[in-house]
Structure 1
């Protein structure tokens, strides 16, 4: 099992965190285009996502097949349950493509953590969550400037209405940090830390199973427990992968909603 545990000369070697999250290069070693295992996982996730959508929607039918139905169900969930519900149909249509990209992109990057031979989420390193958070940061600022105008957007964000003028000395710096620093940072860290911790728990569970069952060749009580724990953590990781995609899309939509509001 890739990245779980290895043996050499009959000895057990615990998984190395550096090797898990900073694996050696597979292609273009030492260049700006270096591709390691995690970069490859991200590329595969994007390629599979594009392929599935292309196969499902290249020739849409009035009576959809199974794959088209599944994709339409996912799109409908994001459209009706998140975007239109929070932004309304008029504004929601403008930002629906981006929110769909966020939801499915995060989902497919996350789910690679339970795919055999890939075994790690593309979001288990801070780079990809940071890129997604910066994109959402740009999206909600753009939405505010486009929908209510730049002056009004920044006024609403930094100077809440109904507050005595002298309170702005305290509130404006707080609102600035909350809106323009905390939002993107919290988006990135929430996704990254969830995926990193889930991967570490899976690694520990499967490593312990390999030690008790694979190396000692004994189905001991501990081996059974660690294997059951690994299976349970796999199910949890699938659930968390979907939940984090939903949360990321929901928060991004929420930030856009706050940006386009006439007053806060």
Structure 2
């Protein structure tokens, strides 16, 4: 065991979850061998409610969370430590563009998911995250957010690659570098506040909450939004199914995929 490693941080989808998009019993078993005082932080593009049930399965409910790729950071009591949002003017441009194309627009504000209908895309997300959205007509979306004085931590658009490519071009032209675009797949576009990432959020969280530095962290990831975190921590682990960009900055590349319990195996190798 590397005694300098005092905290574990993991991405969720494509990293921690197995073929059934769930926490495998192998992962639960590995985590159970760690001391209860050994912090485990989940860092994801997901909303809080889509992470709580995973914390519970790991036996680490009431741990801090890095949500929306760093757009929202919560402490162990669910109190907001950091919050970065996208403007309603930006959202208005997305809604206007959507009129030309048939794609799903979902907004995530703190711990509420809003979308217009329960379509193909929405059903896929419900299955993946086990969270139900609030259905709101697109034309009412901005008025509702204004009324409660909220802005989106994340806007997710799901549709054809051509529609999303065109949307990015429009947004960059009209709003410049106001927001960050992340394509987990050609058909998924996640939009969040500019200049945030998991690494920055994690660094602030663990310094304030645990008096630790990134060099004390073992972190796991698979995709573009994990690159800075994997690069900056003490031991950055890329799962075997990770993108090349993640593997290029990792300290260790697992020979196992998420479906082969890469995180559990690395816990056994490096922490036990």
Which protein has the larger Cα radius of gyration, Structure 1 or Structure 2?
1
TM-score by length of 2: 0.22
TM-score by length of 1: 0.22
Which of the pair is proportionally richer in helix?
1
